[in-house]
Amino acid sequence: MIRFEPEFFKKRNREIDELTLRAIAREVRKDILKMTTNANSGHPGGAMSATDIIVALYFYKMRHDPRNPKWEERDRFVLSKGHVCPALYSVLARCGYFPLEKLMEFRKIDGDLQGHPDMHKTPGIEISTGSLGHGIGAAVGMALGLRLSGSSSRVYCMIGDGEAQEGSVWEATMAASHYNLNNLTVILDNNNLQIDGPVDEVMSIYPALEKWRAFGWNVIEINGHDFGQIIDALNKAEESTFKPTIILAKTVKGKGVSFMENKAEWHGKALPPELLKEALKELGEIV
């Protein structure tokens, strides 16, 4: 297991190479599959598409303190697409917010790791999410509050592309631009699959770049599995002096396991034990 001292996380833009980030992301994907199979429920597909971005946020970009989750100078992360919380739980555990062993409590009665993030139960969760379209509004409120208080902290929010069909997403998008929240970065996990099928067939959000640009945002498009591009985009977002930033990250649902990739059926279904073994082998684990 790759270990970091708690002080490592208390500054932004930390020195960490892409090989290390990829190694962490591989372990996170294993955790996601083990957690959901153990619970026999959950959302592995979208969690795996979101993994690389969440890893980059917590291990490279964001300023936070696993020993003091409510540290006032921390940056905030809102997982608006709360159903992909296995990725976030794994990252929090690997940062040191709680022991790795607790990951197997996922979706267990009386456990601390709920099926959607619960700020009252899990250390490191900024706000409870799960009802799609709500998290980005909370992130806008956080960014505005930090601005008014004179804080240098930043807010990062991940939304889903199916979630972007919600009207509340666009209301929050408009508000962020109106208040010039350059301390807010939203990442769109654009794997183009939702529970009912392809996003562009269910209710198209495209052309997404042009829509956010028309709302007055700084817009960046990347490959959401290329750590070089992820890091570059996060740095450029921090340099924005007047506008909020959206990073449209092109991703692959089920990324990392060949038979799960680009398959809507793995949106909200756990792998059975026999397929878990195959998946873990693909991710480099001896089983």
State the DSSP string of the chain.
-----GGGGGSSS----HHHHHHHHHHHHHHHHHHHHHHT-S-HHHHHHHHHHHHHIIIII----TT-TT-TT--EEEESSGGGHHHHHHHHHHHTSS-GGGGGGTT-TT-SS-SS--TTTSTT--S---STTSHHHHHHHHHHHHHHHT----EEEEEETTGGGSHHHHHHHHHHHHTT-TTEEEEEEE--EETTEEHHHHS---SHHHHHHHTT-EEEEEETT-HHHHHHHHHHHHH-SSS-EEEEEE--TTTT-TTTTT-GGGSS-PPPHHHHHHHHHHTT---
Residue 272: CB atoms within 10 A of its CB come to: 10
Range of 101's domain?
A: 17-282
Tens-level pLDDT at each residue, the chain (287 residues) = 677 887 899 999 999 999 999 999 999 999 999 999 999 999 999 999 999 999 999 999 999 999 999 999 999 999 999 999 999 999 999 999 999 999 999 999 989 999 999 999 999 999 999 899 999 999 999 999 999 999 999 999 999 999 999 999 999 999 999 999 999 999 999 999 999 999 999 999 999 999 999 999 999 999 999 999 999 999 999 999 999 999 999 999 999 999 999 999 999 999 999 999 999 999 998 76
Instruction: Decide if 115 is inside a domain.
Output: yes
pTM for the full model?
A: 0.97
* Separation CA 187–CA 40 (nearest Å): 29
193 and 199 Cβ atoms separated by less than 8 Å:
yes
Fill in the amino acid letter for 125: I
Instruction: Decide if 242 is inside a domain.
Output: yes
Instruction: Decide if 264 is inside a domain.
Output: yes
Instruction: Decide if 68 is inside a domain.
Output: yes
How many structural domains are present in the chain?
A: 1
Which of 164, 162, 160 shows the shortest CA–CA distance to 194? Answer: 162
Residue 196: CB atoms within 10 A of its CB come to: 12
CATH of residue 202: 3.40.50.970
